Amino acid sequence: MRSALLGAHAAFAERRGDVVRYPPSMSPFVGMPDEPGPGDWADAAALAGAGGLFLIAGSTPRPPADWEFLGGLDGVQLVGSGLEPAADPEAVQLGPDDLPEILALVERTKPGPFAARTIDFGGYLGIRRDGVLVAMAGERFRPPGYGEISAVCTDAEWRGHGFASRLMRAVAAGITARGEIPFLHAVAANTTAISLYEGLGFKLRRTTVFSRVRVPRDA
């Protein structure tokens, strides 16, 4: 994520010293150096503000003693080395005008962190039934040479129709057209989703941890 903010997503980056983050209205993730020191944590606090909450992906962080460590989730990073990208005739491009429908679908399906400006990452595609958005997938981080598929979700009433697989292939078609490799993240405990991804041709690249930390409220 940090490499994306220093590269393809530099226009979105909010930076202080060696710490970078997306605007909170896009993503709660903050990019820290591999071995952050006291100055890096001070810069992170300045970016997030007193009481600010943010996510870190990677090894479990060791914030200063007066910070709150709110726990971590084991995760996996999968690369779509065997995925077959394919445009989908039913997939429609989603944009800011679709945000109320998108947020309603996110609320019903809980695909992970999604805020009012997450759509700004681009590449969002959806499938509608009777005019209602019932499935969606899009892009998120773009480290050098890669494009992340994210926010894959399907309304409970429409699961089992293959919409997630179709949309992931369609999003991947846009990623590969840029000469990039599709990848994604998942919570390790979500074995159902991981099985779907592996069936599409994704393979484990590495494990990771998604950690939540909070800046002291009196910082």
Q: What is the pLDDT along the chain (219 residues), one digit of tens a residue?
A: 789 998 999 999 999 999 999 999 999 999 998 889 999 999 999 999 999 999 998 887 788 999 999 999 999 999 999 999 999 999 999 999 999 999 999 999 999 899 999 999 999 999 999 999 999 999 999 999 999 999 999 999 999 999 999 999 999 999 999 999 999 999 999 999 999 999 999 999 999 999 999 999 886
Residue 151 lies in a domain: yes
Q: For the domain that residue 120 is a member of, what is the CATH number?
A: 3.40.630.30
Q: Are residues 88 and 188 in the same domain?
A: yes
Place of tokens 């999003």: 171
Q: Do 69 and 89 reside in the same domain of the chain?
A: no
Q: Check whether residue 41 and residue 89 sit in a common domain.
A: no
Q: Are residues 179 and 101 in the same domain?
A: yes
Judge if 90 and 57 occupy the same domain: no
3-state percent breakdown (helix, strand, coil) of the chain, nearest 5: 30, 30, 40
Q: Please report whether residue 196 resides in a domain.
A: yes
**Would you give the end-to-end CA distance of the chain in angstroms?**
26
Q: Same domain for 69 and 85?
A: no
Domain assignment of residue 125, yes or no = yes
Is this structure's pTM higher than 0.85?
Answer: yes
- CA pseudo-torsion sign 94, 98, 104, 106: positive
Q: For residues 51 and 98, state if they share a domain.
A: no
- Domain co-membership, 170 together with 192: yes
The one-letter amino acid code at 171 reads V
Residue 201 placed within a domain: yes
R_g over Cα of the chain: 18
Q: Which domain holds residue 186?
A: 78-207
66 and 88 inside one domain: no
Rounding to the nearest 10 degrees, give the CA dihedral for residues 184, 188, 204, 154.
-40
Chain-centroid distance of CA 29 in Å reads: 9
Question: How many domains does the chain contain in total?
Answer: 2
219 within domain boundaries: no
The verdict on 117 and 22 lying in the same domain is no
Whether 14 is covered by a domain: the verdict is yes
User: Are both 102 and 154 inside the same structural domain?
Assistant: yes
Residue 164 lies in a domain: yes
Q: Are residues 67 and 22 in the same domain?
A: yes
Angle at 119 between CA 116 and CA 123, to 5 degrees: 170
